[in-house]
Every structure is written in structure tokens, then in C-alpha cells.
Amino acid sequence: MSIEIFDDVLLKLKLLKKYRIDIENKDSIINQLDMIVTKGYYHPLLFIFDTLVKEPKKYIGNLNQKGFKIRSKFSTEVNDNFALSYINGTFKKSKNKKTHLEISIRSIGYLFLTIVIPLLLVWLLGLILFISEGLMIPKEPDYFQDNIFIFLFLSSFLFMMIFIPYRIIKYSIRNTTNNFNEILQLITKNSKPL
């Protein structure tokens, strides 16, 4: 239950993308993906080890008959996707015995949220302390004027610490989705949003 709520938050923040593709032959998709995926670890935080892998394949991860977990390999080229997101694919059968591939493209958004929520709580606590201290010291009428610039500086710093990683992760999700959709369109032509 809590994972579904967390996924809903990630979907709204555009740090998670989910969709479905109807497929005719699961084995052909696995074989096609096997040509572009190096077997190995898939977690985005292990991208530093990508330089040790000598195979020239674009993706790295695990494939099996149930699905796959892959991500783009890290590259030092400027236009390449920085490996912050990974792709989960699961083969499922519907009620009418048709097979479809459910895809979710995730990022390290869960780490992002675990950093953002405490930062926002600290900022909110600082705001409450700033206002309450100013109200408790009636002898100093210049309290707000003296300290407002410090508070504004800290607020803008916190905003940038949240906004810049959010934009990078959101860009990574969008870029990974577009790149993987191009590959899937070569494999199959029948795609539907979830």
C-alpha cells in the first residue's frame, strides 16, 4: 500500500513513467533486447563500474522470461543520458490471453524524496523559529530587517538544492523514455499508454 502511494507521488512529480505495450511474441522481444543489453547489475548508483564493461552494448541489466531490469550504460559523451534512471519491464497475460509488456521507468527519485522532505521540514522549522523569535523580542524593532536577508539567502539556497536535482532526474526519465520507446518501436509497432 505505501509503495503504491509513493509511486503515485513519483508519477505526479514525473519521476516515474509507466506504460504498456501489447506484444505478439515475448521470445522475439527478449531476443531483440538481448542484442543490446549487457548482462550485469542494473542499479543506477553502480554506474561507475560501467567503464570496466568492454562490450559496446547500449544497455546493461538482467533479462529473463518474466521481464527485465535494465538501464543505459554510463558514457562520458555530453549528449548521452546520465544513468540516473532504469527500466523495469514485466510480461503479463491479460484476460483474453494476450500478452503485454508493462514498463516502468524509474529514477533515483526515492533518494531524491528522502533528501527533500527533511530539507523542507528543516526550512519550515527555521521559518517558524524566525517568525516566533521576531514576535518574542518586542524591544528590537529591526529584527526582521536585520535577519530577512539571511533567511532569503537560505531559502533560495534550499530551493536550488531541491530544484536542480529534480530537473536533472526529470530530464533523465524523459530522455530514457524517448530512447527506449524508439527501440521498442523497432521491435513492435503496437504501443498503448497504461
Question: Would you list the DSSP string of 87-129?
Answer: EEEEEEE-TTS-EEEEEEEEETHHHHHHHHHHHHHHHHHHHHH
Regarding whether 141 and 91 lie in a shared domain, the answer is no
Q: Are residues 131 and 36 in the same domain?
A: no
Question: Which band of pLDDT confidence, cut at 50, 70 and 90, is reported for residue 192?
Answer: very low
Q: Are residues 64 and 158 in the same domain?
A: no
**Do 160 and 183 fall into the same domain?**
no
Please tell me whether residues 23 and 95 are part of one structural domain.
yes
In this prediction, residues 136-142 reach a mean pLDDT of 64
| Residue 27: exposure state from Cβ atoms within 10 A (0-12, 13-18, ≥19) | exposed
- What stretches of the chain show up as alpha helix (H) in DSSP? 2-12, 26-34, 109-136, 143-187
Number of folded domains that form the chain: 2
Residues 177 and 146 in one domain: no
Residues 16 and 91 both lie in one domain: yes
pTM: 0.71
Q: For 18-45, what is the mean pLDDT? A: 82
**How confident is the model over 99-125, as a mean pLDDT?**
79
Stronger pLDDT, 45 or 148, i.e. the higher one: 148
Classify residue 182 as exposed, middle or buried by CB count within 10 Å of its CB (0-12, 13-18, 19+).
Answer: exposed
Q: Average pLDDT of the chain?
A: 77
The 10s digit of each residue's pLDDT in 116-126 is 778 888 888 88
Domain assignment of residue 35, given as a range: 2-110+172-193
Q: Kindly state whether residues 106 and 125 are assigned to the same domain.
A: no
103, 125: one domain: no
Looking up residue 32, the CATH number of its domain turns out to be 3.30.310
Question: pLDDT band at 193, cuts 50/70/90?
Answer: very low
81 plus 116 within the same structural domain: no
| 65 grid coordinates | 522470461
pLDDT (mean) for 89-97: 86
- Asked if the model's pLDDT at residue 150 lies above 70, the reply is yes
Same domain as 72, residue 141: no
Note whether 148 and 57 are same-domain residues: no
